[in-house]
Amino acid sequence: MGTRSGDKWVVSGALVNLGPLLIAQGEYARARACIMDALTIQRQIGDKYDIAFSLRNLGKLAFKQHDLTAARACYEESLAIDRDIGYRDGIAISL
Protein backbone atom coordinates (compact mmCIF):
# COMPACT_ATOMS: atom_id res chain seq x y z
CA MET A 1 0.00 0.00 0.00
CA GLY A 2 1.28 3.46 -0.85
CA THR A 3 2.47 5.82 1.82
CA ARG A 4 1.70 9.14 0.16
CA SER A 5 -1.82 10.55 0.37
CA GLY A 6 -2.28 10.27 -3.41
CA ASP A 7 -1.20 6.64 -3.38
CA LYS A 8 -3.65 5.89 -0.60
CA TRP A 9 -6.44 7.58 -2.53
CA VAL A 10 -5.75 5.38 -5.57
CA VAL A 11 -5.66 2.23 -3.45
CA SER A 12 -8.88 3.15 -1.63
CA GLY A 13 -10.54 3.89 -4.98
CA ALA A 14 -9.64 0.47 -6.31
CA LEU A 15 -10.84 -1.25 -3.15
CA VAL A 16 -14.10 0.68 -2.90
CA ASN A 17 -14.94 -0.13 -6.51
CA LEU A 18 -14.06 -3.80 -6.08
CA GLY A 19 -16.44 -4.12 -3.11
CA PRO A 20 -19.73 -3.78 -5.04
CA LEU A 21 -18.48 -6.17 -7.71
CA LEU A 22 -17.75 -8.78 -5.06
CA ILE A 23 -21.16 -8.17 -3.46
CA ALA A 24 -22.81 -8.79 -6.84
CA GLN A 25 -20.87 -12.04 -7.13
CA GLY A 26 -21.98 -13.14 -3.67
CA GLU A 27 -18.45 -13.00 -2.26
CA TYR A 28 -19.53 -11.19 0.87
CA ALA A 29 -16.48 -11.83 3.06
CA ARG A 30 -14.07 -10.55 0.40
CA ALA A 31 -16.36 -7.59 -0.32
CA ARG A 32 -16.45 -6.64 3.34
CA ALA A 33 -12.67 -6.87 3.62
CA CYS A 34 -12.16 -4.63 0.57
CA ILE A 35 -14.69 -2.06 1.71
CA MET A 36 -13.32 -1.99 5.26
CA ASP A 37 -9.75 -1.56 3.96
CA ALA A 38 -10.96 1.28 1.73
CA LEU A 39 -12.83 2.87 4.63
CA THR A 40 -9.75 2.76 6.83
CA ILE A 41 -7.71 4.59 4.20
CA GLN A 42 -10.50 7.08 3.50
CA ARG A 43 -10.73 7.94 7.17
CA GLN A 44 -6.94 8.40 7.33
CA ILE A 45 -6.93 10.86 4.43
CA GLY A 46 -10.24 12.53 5.37
CA ASP A 47 -12.09 11.73 2.14
CA LYS A 48 -15.66 12.31 3.32
CA TYR A 49 -17.29 11.66 -0.06
CA ASP A 50 -15.73 8.20 -0.34
CA ILE A 51 -16.27 7.45 3.35
CA ALA A 52 -19.99 7.94 2.77
CA PHE A 53 -19.80 5.82 -0.40
CA SER A 54 -18.08 2.99 1.47
CA LEU A 55 -20.63 3.17 4.27
CA ARG A 56 -23.44 2.88 1.73
CA ASN A 57 -21.71 -0.20 0.29
CA LEU A 58 -21.39 -1.70 3.77
CA GLY A 59 -25.07 -0.96 4.30
CA LYS A 60 -25.95 -2.74 1.07
CA LEU A 61 -23.82 -5.70 2.10
CA ALA A 62 -25.40 -5.87 5.56
CA PHE A 63 -28.86 -5.71 4.00
CA LYS A 64 -28.05 -8.59 1.64
CA GLN A 65 -26.90 -10.57 4.68
CA HIS A 66 -30.19 -9.76 6.47
CA ASP A 67 -28.44 -7.70 9.15
CA LEU A 68 -30.89 -4.83 9.18
CA THR A 69 -29.45 -3.23 12.32
CA ALA A 70 -25.98 -2.94 10.76
CA ALA A 71 -27.44 -1.81 7.43
CA ARG A 72 -29.38 0.97 9.10
CA ALA A 73 -26.34 2.11 11.10
CA CYS A 74 -24.21 2.30 7.94
CA TYR A 75 -26.86 4.20 6.01
CA GLU A 76 -27.43 6.61 8.89
CA GLU A 77 -23.73 7.38 9.19
CA SER A 78 -23.48 7.83 5.42
CA LEU A 79 -26.52 10.12 5.46
CA ALA A 80 -24.98 12.32 8.16
CA ILE A 81 -21.78 12.70 6.13
CA ASP A 82 -23.67 13.37 2.89
CA ARG A 83 -25.70 16.06 4.62
CA ASP A 84 -22.52 17.57 6.06
CA ILE A 85 -20.86 17.81 2.63
CA GLY A 86 -24.09 18.69 0.80
CA TYR A 87 -24.05 15.66 -1.50
CA ARG A 88 -27.70 15.40 -2.56
CA ASP A 89 -27.41 12.16 -4.52
CA GLY A 90 -25.87 10.46 -1.50
CA ILE A 91 -28.61 11.85 0.73
CA ALA A 92 -31.27 10.44 -1.59
CA ILE A 93 -29.59 7.02 -1.77
CA SER A 94 -29.14 6.82 2.00
CA LEU A 95 -32.76 7.69 2.69
- Computed on alpha carbons and rounded to an integer, the radius of gyration of the chain in Å comes to 13
The residue among 61, 42, 55 whose CA lies nearest residue 81 is: 55
Instruction: State the CB neighbour count (10 A cutoff) for residue 12.
Output: 27
Domains of the chain: 5-94 (1.25.40.10)
Instruction: State the CB neighbour count (10 A cutoff) for residue 24.
Output: 11
Q: Residue 91 has what pLDDT?
A: 87
- The per-residue pLDDT string of the chain (95 residues; one tens digit each, 9 = 90 and over) reads 445 556 888 888 899 899 999 999 999 999 999 999 999 999 999 999 999 999 999 999 999 999 999 999 999 999 999 999 998 988 888 88
